[in-house]
Amino acid sequence: MSEIVFAIDDDEERVGRQVRTVAADLPMRTDDLSVTVLHVFSDNPTGASITQFQTARFAEEELEAAGIDVELVGRGGDPSTEIVGYADEAGADLICLAGRKRSPTGKALFGSVTQDIILTTELPVLIAGDERT
């Protein structure tokens, strides 16, 4: 069984692209997959749980409908550090992220969680990009 860490944020469109990529586009049977939907709360003063997070419930429902085993996990801290750390702890085979368009200046000035993860982890990183028509 392949273990995928499915790191999400609060954008349902990006999470939807991740779901489609994992559930329909990967060249493997969905019953051979186990997905951990992971959200990292960088600021969580109210102590929200991942089960209260709309995009986490959406991902869970859609992935389970595709026959994929799903677990929801919430963590707090720096997103890239927590995502890579969790993937290592869980013995994941792959990290799935959603890409977003950013200008070269925006990337240079503000950094990128995706870039940090790609440069930090030794695992393969699958980027669910924009839909093309």
Tokens of 61: 């429902």
- How far is residue 23 from each of residues 26, 93, 126, 127, 128, measured CA to CA in Å? 7, 16, 13, 14, 12
Q: Domain range holding 55?
A: 2-128
Q: Where are any strands of DSSP class E within the chain?
A: 2-8, 33-41, 69-76, 94-98, 125-128
Structural domain total, the chain: 1
Q: Indicate whether 31 belongs to any domain.
A: yes
Q: Indicate whether 105 belongs to any domain.
A: yes
User: What's 48's domain CATH number?
Assistant: 3.40.50.620
Q: Indicate whether 22 belongs to any domain.
A: yes
Question: What pLDDT digit, counting tens, does each position of 71-102 carry?
Answer: 999 999 999 999 999 999 999 999 999 977 66
Confirm whether pTM is higher than 0.85: yes
Question: What pLDDT digit, counting tens, does each position of 31-66 carry?
Answer: 788 999 999 998 776 777 899 889 999 999 999 999
Q: Indicate whether 42 belongs to any domain.
A: yes
pLDDT at 29 over 90: no
Q: Indicate whether 133 belongs to any domain.
A: no
Neighbours of 47 (CB within 10 A): 8
